[in-house]
Amino acid sequence: MAPKPVDYSLYLVTDSTPPILGDKDLVAVVKAAVEGGATIVQYRDKTSETAELVQIAKELHKVTKAAGVPLLINDRVDVALAAGVEGVHVGQDDLDLKTARRLLGPDAIVGVTANSLEEALEAAGDGADYLGLGTVYATPTKENTKSIIGTAGVQKILAELHKAGHEVKTVCIGGVNASNTQRILYQCAAPQKKLDGVAVVSAIMASSEPKEAAMHLRKLVSEPPPFATTASKSQLSRDDIVAKAPDVIKRMVGKKPLCHNMTNLVVQNFAANVALAIGSSPIMSNNGLEAGDLAALGGSLVINMGTTTPEIRSNHLKALAAYNAVGGPVVFDPVGAGATQQRKEGVKALMAGGFFDLIKGNEGEIRTVSGAQGVKQHGVDSGASQLSMDDKIKLVKGTAARERNIILMTGSMDVISDGERTFTVANGHEYLGEITGSGCTLGTTIASVMAVEREDKLLAALVGLLMYEIAAERAAVRSDVKGPGTFVPAFIDELYRVRQESVSGDGSWAQVAK
């Protein structure tokens, strides 16, 4: 069945209950919403009697018709028929899709809720015009949702729908609002199939200015998020990286970008010194309320979960939103991610709360980020490896493709990928594992480079990683370095030396990249 020419981009689902509608008038709110840019409306009313449902549906239909916007009724095929509207939306527990279709005819729009891949494939196979995929994020609007599937769950369904050859249209629902719409559309997209829109209830219905809310959302769904990279990913060989690295560093030093670190108590001083040595401008601020002002300065942000509390998490979320809003690169260091329940929840909340351009961690941390169950981490140090190199590469690449970002798994052999291009890096020195903050300050280094190299963020990350690990190699073999203690100041010196060489046009340091 060929898809009908319906614009699903901003799909409004109504709610007449007091917590959401308040004392506003339903018809007036819907009128304002379609004036603002809602492209399709579903009248969802679980409480009114049938006669009232039909009456309200007819009133809503006048408004939507005038705006050229289709009106669907939730659940009730009889009400849709009685009011003469364009279609219905049925949930898994409502009248089945085939019967709804038979009653309404081929021209009606029939949409179905799908909470799982199985439900999506079945509804698509049975001829649904569109699917409402969710629940993306937990929402007070509908507390009895079956499962929270996140952007990763939606992406998986989209990929499988494409594989099965279904042309069905899709929107996602659950916790979608102006603060996350662009990111959700971006992170849900599978390589071959993206969402056709977002469905919202409270983001419009609960607003005191529904027209403005709809206008804003409509603008957001029509534009990529500020952090999205537009350029198609160019091939990157080892030789390209080695050749470009010194120039990228030189550019960073020239701009001296702000590198905002929200880091743990243990490494603040060290991270600030590393930033100064490599040529960026550090600010160590854990106050989320000033993140907006700092984000406006055009730098990057490191969010480090090393010392985490609920209050710190709320500051992290504020800062993440501020940098996402202006496209400032954000690096996430999920320190000890798998070690405690608090940290596991912290990782989930942060990843659901914003976009990280790069997530960096050891094997256990990246496994937790990937959603692996039962990851055991003792403390925040990297433990013994449990994965083969092939499995690490698969995990890093798959997680990066899923999050549509860059994942860096550090270890004696680092693995880094943007989901398409994957590299291993064998530089570094074992002393990095014998001092505190080496992972954290690698995050600072990479974020500093990302602040200036935004076109190819993977290149930026690789350059930061190489600068860092090659400086460590140089420091470790110095005659004045006797162990981890003397290694630290030598390492800062060598970071500085790599920077100076890059600025003076001597790019030979990068040639030892392996």
Catalytic site positions: 440
- Backbone φ/ψ region at 327: left (φ over 0), alpha (ψ -120 to 50), beta: left
Q: Which is nearer to ligand 3NM, 199 or 366 (CB)?
A: 199
Total residues at interface with ligand 3NM (CB under 6 A): 17
Among 39, 135, 263, 368, which residue interacts with ligand 3NM (rule: CB under 6 A)?
Answer: 135
| Interaction of residue 256 with ligand 3NM, rule CB under 6 A | no
The CB-of-87 to ligand 3NM minimum distance in angstroms stands at 16
Q: Going by C-beta distance under 8 Å and a sequence separation of 6 or more, which residues neighbour residue 146?
A: 92, 115, 116, 135
User: Per CB under 6 A, which region of 134-142, 250-258, 358-366, 425-433 contacts ligand 3NM?
Assistant: 134-142
The CB-of-153 to ligand 3NM minimum distance in angstroms stands at 11
Q: Which is nearer to ligand 3NM, 181 or 377 (CB)?
A: 181
Distance in angstroms (rounded) separating the CA atoms of residues 505 and 514:
21
| Interaction of residue 41 with ligand 3NM, rule CB under 6 A | no
Q: Cis (ω within 30 of 0) for the bond into 263? A: no
| Interaction of residue 145 with ligand 3NM, rule CB under 6 A | yes
Q: Which does 202 bind (CB under 5 to 8 A by kind): ligand 3NM, Mg ion, none?
A: ligand 3NM
Residue pair 223/37 in contact (Cβ under 8 Å)? The answer is no
The CB-of-92 to Mg ion minimum distance in angstroms stands at 8
Q: Which is nearer to ligand 3NM, 79 or 242 (CB)?
A: 79
Picking from 97, 194, 200, the residue whose alpha carbon sits closest to that of residue 141 is 200
Q: Reduce the DSSP state of residue 113 to 3 states and report it.
A: strand
Among 13, 29, 88, 168, which residue interacts with ligand 3NM (rule: CB under 6 A)?
Answer: 13
Picking from 322, 388, 401, 342, the residue whose alpha carbon sits closest to that of residue 158 is 401
Among 85, 110, 173, 184, which residue interacts with ligand 3NM (rule: CB under 6 A)?
Answer: 173
Q: Reduce the DSSP state of residue 312 to 3 states and report it.
A: helix
Strands ordered across the beta sheet of 258-262: 281-284, 258-262, 300-304, 330-333, 358-361, 406-409, 414-417, 422-425
Residue pair 51/45 in contact (Cβ under 8 Å)? The answer is no
Q: Which does 94 bind (CB under 5 to 8 A by kind): Mg ion, ligand 3NM, none?
A: Mg ion
| Interaction of residue 79 with ligand 3NM, rule CB under 6 A | no
Picking from 361, 480, 371, the residue whose alpha carbon sits closest to that of residue 415 is 361
Stretch (H or E) spanning 244: helix 238-255
Site residues (vs Mg ion, CB under 5 A): 75, 91, 94
Q: Site mask, ligand 3NM, residues 191-210, x = CB under 6 A? A: ---------xxxx-------
Among 176, 213, 252, 513, which residue interacts with ligand 3NM (rule: CB under 6 A)?
Answer: 176
Tokens of 89: 């939306």
| Interaction of residue 153 with ligand 3NM, rule CB under 6 A | no
Backbone φ and ψ for 451, nearest 5 degrees, come out as -60, -30
| Interaction of residue 170 with ligand 3NM, rule CB under 6 A | no
Picking from 422, 2, 382, the residue whose alpha carbon sits closest to that of residue 233 is 422
Distance in angstroms (rounded) separating the CA atoms of residues 353 and 246:
35
Q: Which does 418 bind (CB under 5 to 8 A by kind): ligand 3NM, Mg ion, none?
A: none
The CB-of-93 to Mg ion minimum distance in angstroms stands at 7
Q: Which is nearer to Mg ion, 108 or 366 (CB)?
A: 108
The CB-of-94 to ligand 3NM minimum distance in angstroms stands at 12
Q: Which is nearer to ligand 3NM, 131 or 463 (CB)?
A: 131
Backbone φ and ψ for 360, nearest 5 degrees, come out as -120, 130
Distance in angstroms (rounded) separating the CA atoms of residues 341 and 347:
10
Q: Which is nearer to ligand 3NM, 13 or 462 (CB)?
A: 13
The CB-of-98 to ligand 3NM minimum distance in angstroms stands at 20
Burial (CB < 10 A; 0-12, 13-18, 19+), residue 443, is buried
The CB-of-201 to ligand 3NM minimum distance in angstroms stands at 3
Q: Which is nearer to ligand 3NM, 113 or 324 (CB)?
A: 113
Q: Which is nearer to ligand 3NM, 176 or 407 (CB)?
A: 176
Among 113, 182, 370, 377, which residue interacts with ligand 3NM (rule: CB under 6 A)?
Answer: 113
Residue pair 70/62 in contact (Cβ under 8 Å)? The answer is no
The CB-of-13 to ligand 3NM minimum distance in angstroms stands at 5
State how far the alpha carbon of 71 is from the alpha carbons of 60, 62, 239, in Å.
Answer: 8, 10, 57
| Interaction of residue 150 with ligand 3NM, rule CB under 6 A | no
Among 36, 37, 70, 174, which residue interacts with ligand 3NM (rule: CB under 6 A)?
Answer: 174
Site residues, ligand 3NM (CB under 6 A): 13, 113, 132, 134-135, 139, 141-142, 145, 173-176, 200-203
